[in-house]
Structure 1
Amino acid sequence: MSVDEMEKRIVRYGDLVPCRTAFIDAHTPGSDRKENFTIIGGGVSEAADQHVHIKETPGFNIGAAGQPPKCRNSLHTHRTAEVFFVLSGRWRFFWGNDGTDGEVTLTEGDVINIPTGIFRGFENIGTDYGMIMAVLGGDDAGGGVIWAPQVIEDAKDHGLVLGENGVLYDSNKGAHLPAGIEPMRVLDEDDMALFPKVTTAMFVPRFVARYLDMMALADHQPVTVIGQDGMLIDQPGFTLEFLSAGSVDNTAYSTDRHEILMVMRGHWQVTWAGGQTVLAPGDVFAIPPGIERRLQVAMSGEASLFRVCDTDDEAGPTMNFFSDNRPHQ
């Protein structure tokens, strides 16, 4: 495959196109400055103007969220997996029906795998603009977000209504629900009572992996973070591996799976028959099946990246972590 063909499969961090109207809380104070990025696949954006860098999906979606200090993403839950790693900044993740059941602080390189059936949100608690990268289960992640009732009510007070068709309508711009389209159903008290209460002590050991721990384990070989015998439990329709400079030896390899490389730190050189490229922090490279390539660190110093591959697992809630009675719309 030529360099030009492969370059079309690389999304450079500096080329990312943000959307500031992606979700129902786009006008809600405290959440109105966040930026959403859809890198691979359609993502979960509710806005028609969301830019998609690579439309082909490999069994999962890749996205990102960028937020200035003190900006938060409102409480929501997903029908499919949602896995984040912190590219930059310091972030507080919180969960529960009102966001107070538990919380954990993540710093650069840390991973959090948030299971389905739990309301979650996150906030940049650092001093600078921060970015978290996301892997979302399934080829079609659209329509997979369920908002907490208070989020929908707050949004309505600021002119935004989400239709049952999954589309946002902004009355500030003269838009209203079309004839025949009802507002998205709001979960009632009985629905909310079905969601489990999960403490920090229950959550963190099973769903958070720390960067320094992964670096130590990746001294001689890649570390499986999510997947069979991985550090974190789940079967979300993809595997997540962590690689450091000690994990690779420039040996040629190929796979029948889609492989997505997401650089955390350092510069990485990827070589294939027909060309090569160098990836920098925040770059995402979607390598199709059957391409023989070599992977090595391009410069001295600390280097790390995440590698995501599709699997034959279902993309939905394949494991019931905390409750047998979680609601599904």
Structure 2
Amino acid sequence: MKMTPAQMDARIVRYGDLKPCKTAFIDAHTPGSDQKENFTIIGGGVSESADQHVHITETPGFNIGAAGQPPKCRNSLHSHRTAEVFFVLKGRWRFFWGRWGKAGEVVLEEGDIINIPTGIFRGFENIGTDYGMIMAVLGGDDAGGGVIWAPQVIEDARNHGLVLGENGKLYDSKKGQALPAGVSPMPLLSEEQLKDFPELTTAQVLPDYVARYWDMVALSDRQPCKVLGAEGLLRDRPGFEIDFLTRGSIPGTAYATDRHEVLMPVRGYWRMDWDGGSTVLNPGDTAAIPPGLSHSLTPAMTGEAALYRIRNTDDPAGLTGRLS
């Protein structure tokens, strides 16, 4: 299999070319959450807005997205039906969870990764001093069909002009929009339904769902560090697996796989050669490598270099990460 540079360019989303959407979700007008930016890089993600730009529509069994937020900006409490895995590209972030966001929390630094257990309400905020960026992997081609919001999020949004229809679309009264005939507002979860969302402590989540950057660096000095998967530090099988690569774990020889592969640099610059061309991947770039394409990776400069590699698996993208 060969691929021209132009064909590969269409499969690489550069960090500087990312197109944000500031009205992606129901809390887009809610104070404290109204400055966040949502990015859909591979697949349609879970955005509720028709304004959301999708960079690569073809999905490899999972979706790739990102969230950019200024300091003190937060993403409201929500849940997903499939896996949601984040790694920190820029900044310092606090992840919190539970019905009211008080059951547990963890602070992640640049390069750290968290596989948030499926079926719990979760939120996150930038607690750093500059604009921050987190990258996300969502399980499934359709990312579980959307977002499940904590009831208070829907109520707060309504008070600030945004209504979510039961069709999963947003309507903004500030723009003169209203629910179409025959479309009802998204119903709030009942108290009985809320019992299905576990309240997990920090001690329950940290050991099996969080991996630290420097621990992964230490484990990848001779071979890629298996981060998420049946044999990973985070033992989950949500329909994709994640490896962590550094300068020491790259043999430099070309390889091909029968899986879809997505490369996401965290630190340093990476030269990627393939059968048909060559390019350099920078931190924040996302490259979708098709099955069967022979390619190789080498750090393009001296110094620190780290990269996440995601591949689809045959495992179902379901409730594999759930705790109770």
TM-score computed with the length of structure 2 as normaliser: 0.98
Equivalent position SS for 2:216? helix
Give the Cα–Cα distance (whole angstroms) in 1 for the partners of residues 240 and 103 of structure 2.
Answer: 28
1:153 match: secondary structure: helix
Question: What letter matches 2:276 in structure 1?
Answer: G
Cα distance in 1, alignment partners of residues 35 and 15 from structure 2: 19
Partner of 1:241, secondary structure, is: strand
**Alignment match, 1:5:** 7
**Deviation, structure 1 residue 185:** 1.4
Residue number in structure 1 paired with 2:237:
235
Cα contact 2:146–2:168 (8 A) shared by 1: no
Supply the distance in 1 between the matched residues of 2:195 and 2:142 (Cα, whole angstroms): 28
Confirm or deny: 8 A CA contact 1:45 1:142 kept in the other structure.
Answer: no
SS of match in other structure, 1:109: coil
Answer with 136-145 or 52-61: which moved more.
136-145
| Alignment check: 8 A CA contact 2:18 2:39 kept | yes
Equivalent residue number for residue 278 of structure 1: 280
Distance 1:234 1:150 in 2: 30
- Give the residue type in structure 2 aligned to 1:233: R
User: 2-side partners of 1:255 and 1:311: how far apart?
Assistant: 12
Structure 1: how far apart are the matches of 2:320 and 2:234? 14
Q: Which amino acid aligns with 1:99?
A: G
Deviations 1:62-88 (A, max 9, x none): 000000000000000000100000000
Q: Supply the distance in 2 between the matched residues of 1:131 and 1:227 (Cα, whole angstroms).
A: 24
Secondary structure of 1:113's counterpart equals strand
Match of 1:162 in 2: 164
Counterparts of 2:298 and 2:322, CA distance in 1:
38
Deviation at 1:300, TM superposition (A): 0.4
Whole-Å separation in 1 of the counterparts to 2:157 and 2:321:
32
Find the counterpart in structure 1 of residue 266 from structure 2. Answer: 264
Task: Check the 8 A contact 2:47/2:146 in 1, yes or no.
Answer: no
Instruction: Name 2:106's counterpart in structure 1.
Output: 104
SS of structure 2 residue aligned to 1:100 = coil
Partner of 1:48: 50
- Alpha-carbon distance in structure 2 between the residues aligned to 1:192 and 1:33: 28
Alpha-carbon offset, residue 285 of structure 1? 0.3
Q: Give, as a single letter, the amino acid of the residue that structure 2 aligns with 1:2.
A: T
1:306 offset after TM fit, Å? Answer: 0.1
Query: Can you list the C-alpha shifts for 1:206-235, whole angstroms capped at 9, x where unaligned?
Result: 100000000000001001110121001211
1:21 is aligned to: 23
Q: CA deviation at 1:269?
A: 0.6
Identity of aligned residues (%): 71
What corresponds to 1:120 in structure 2?
A: 122
Structure 2 counterpart of 1:195: 197
Aligned partner of 2:177 in structure 1 is: 175
Q: TM-score, normalised by structure 1?
A: 0.97
Other-structure match for 1:325: none
Please, which of 64, 67, 92 is the counterpart of residue 65 of structure 1?
67
Q: Is the 8 A contact 1:80 1:144 kept in 2?
A: no
Q: Is the 8 A contact 2:227 2:244 kept in 1?
A: yes
Q: Secondary structure at the match of 1:112?
A: strand
1:319 positional shift: 4.9
- Distance across 2 between alignment mates of 1:93 and 1:189: 24
In structure 2, relative to structure 1, the CA distance for the partners of 1:62 and 1:18 (3 Å cut) is same
Paired AA for residue 197 in structure 2: F
CA apart distance, 1:191: 1.4
Instruction: Give the root-mean-square deviation of aligned CA atoms.
Output: 0.8
Kindly state the Cα deviation for residue 142 of structure 1 after the two structures are TM-superposed: 6.2
Residue 85 of structure 1, aligned match among 84, 87, 90: 87
Following TM superposition, by how much is the alpha carbon of 1:43 offset from its aligned partner in structure 2, in angstroms?
Answer: 0.5
Shift of 1:197: 1.6
Report the secondary structure of 2:145's partner residue.
coil
Q: State the 1:141 CA deviation.
A: 1.7
**More displaced, 116-125 or 312-321?**
312-321
User: Contact 1:42 / 1:142 at 8 angstroms: preserved in 2?
Assistant: no
Worse-superposed segment, 101-110 or 137-146? 137-146
Rounded Cα–Cα distance in structure 1 between residues aligned with 2:260 and 2:144: 21
1:152 aligns with 2:154: yes
Q: How many residues align?
A: 322
Runs of at least 5 residues in structure 1 that lack an aligned partner in the other structure: 323-329
Q: How far off is 1:321 after superposition?
A: 2.1
Which of the numbers 283, 291, 294 marks the counterpart of 1:292? 294
Match of 2:217 in 1: 215
